[in-house]
């Protein structure tokens, strides 16, 4: 199996690292080669361009930030036409439903397989073997990429043969996470305005009402204002909320809370917080309540 992996960012780097630990031979490309040097020193192979990487693989894995970045790889960088007939595009990115549908059509026309496999988990979840993966695509094609998926995480949810379904589920899951951050942010602002330490409030609600790892982990980041080491940035959070609203509009499924979350994220971005963890949404609520909204 010849695997090429394109996109060595916050998530792509630990994913390739884990694949190498599992004994998988991986060829990589990233726009900044220096960021990939630790992986090259560990045994990964390098190609000079995405097109070269696509032309010599059986499976092409991509992990990029948004639709636009993937479209550039497909068209301007030429991977769509360079991918050999019979090869598989394995997309780990959180994409729009429309792009996932378009990818299936374009790959099918060229004799390629296409599997969409967006993931749930931050970079530390990859390194610690806690990543959860969705996957959707033709059963025979999914079977071919399954060894890669199993090397990346302990639980894989095969959600059908239509790749876009995996993306819709991922977008909907991220909407739930963002909604939880919004609720925590509003509640933290409320209790803090009355002089209550958000950390104390978090301990109480997490032990008596929610008892959720999501509430506990993100709540601690928010209460301690540890937003600088972002597992998932605020600008990416806005992107995913917009994808959820777009999908909801096409399906004619009202998503009223999505608009509220979008506005809170936009408020944070208007203060230049795009590189902060998306749990930094709480700072917008502090500011609205007349509290100190500085981070760190």
How far is the C-alpha of 210 from the C-alpha of 42, rounded, in Å? 42
Catalytic position from the list 51, 170, 239, 262: 170
Digit-by-digit pLDDT tens for the chain (296 residues) are 799 999 999 999 999 999 999 999 999 998 888 899 999 999 999 999 999 999 999 999 999 999 999 999 999 999 999 999 999 999 999 999 999 999 999 999 999 999 999 999 989 999 999 999 999 999 999 999 999 999 999 999 999 999 999 999 999 999 999 999 999 999 999 999 999 999 999 999 999 998 898 999 999 999 999 998 888 999 999 999 999 999 999 999 999 999 999 999 999 999 999 999 999 999 999 999 999 876 54
- CATH number, span 167-288: 1.10.1040.10
From residue 198, give the alpha-carbon distance in Å to each of 22, 103, 203: 41, 45, 9
Which tokens sit at 170? 């991922």
How far is the C-alpha of 46 from the C-alpha of 32, rounded, in Å? 12
What residues does each domain of the chain span? 3-161, 167-288
| CATH architecture of the domain covering 3-161 | 3-Layer(aba) Sandwich (3.40)
Is residue 170 flagged as an active site residue? Answer: yes
Neighbours of 9 (CB within 10 A): 17
């Amino acid at each position: 199996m010849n695997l090429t992996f394109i996109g060595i960012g916050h998530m792509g780097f630990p994913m390739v690292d884990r694949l190498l630990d599992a004994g998988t031979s991986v060829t990589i490309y990233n726009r900044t080669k220096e960021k990939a040097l630790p992986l090259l020193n560990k045994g990964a192979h390098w190609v000079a361009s995405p097109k070269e990487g696509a032309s010599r693989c059986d499976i092409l894995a991509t992990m990029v930030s948004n639709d636009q970045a993937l479209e550039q790889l497909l068209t301007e960088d030429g991977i769509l036409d360079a991918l050999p007939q019979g090869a598989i595009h394995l997309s780990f990115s959180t994409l729009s439903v429309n792009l996932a549908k378009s990818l299936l059509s374009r790959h099918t026309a060229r004799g390629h397989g296409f599997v969409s496999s967006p993931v749930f988990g931050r970079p530390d979840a990859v390194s610690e073997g806690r990543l959860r993966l969705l996957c959707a695509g033709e059963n025979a094609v999914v079977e071919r990429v399954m060894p890669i998926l199993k090397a990346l995480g302990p639980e894989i949810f095969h959600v059908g043969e239509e790749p876009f379904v995996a993306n819709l589920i991922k977008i909907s899951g991220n909407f739930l996470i963002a909604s939880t951050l919004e609720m925590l942010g509003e509640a933290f602002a409320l209790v803090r305005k009355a002089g209550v330490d958000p950390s104390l409030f978090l301990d109480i609600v997490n032990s008596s009402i929610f008892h959720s790892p999501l509430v506990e982990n993100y709540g601690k980041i928010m209460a301690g204002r540890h937003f600088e080491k972002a597992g998932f940035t605020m600008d990416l959070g806005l992107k995913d909320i917009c994808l959820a609203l777009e999908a909801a509009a096409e399906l004619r499924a009202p998503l009223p809370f999505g608009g509220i979350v979008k506005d809170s994220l936009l408020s944070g971005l208007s203060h230049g917080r795009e590189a902060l963890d998306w749990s930094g949404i709480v700072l917008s609520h502090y500011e609205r309540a007349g509290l100190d909204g500085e981070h760190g």
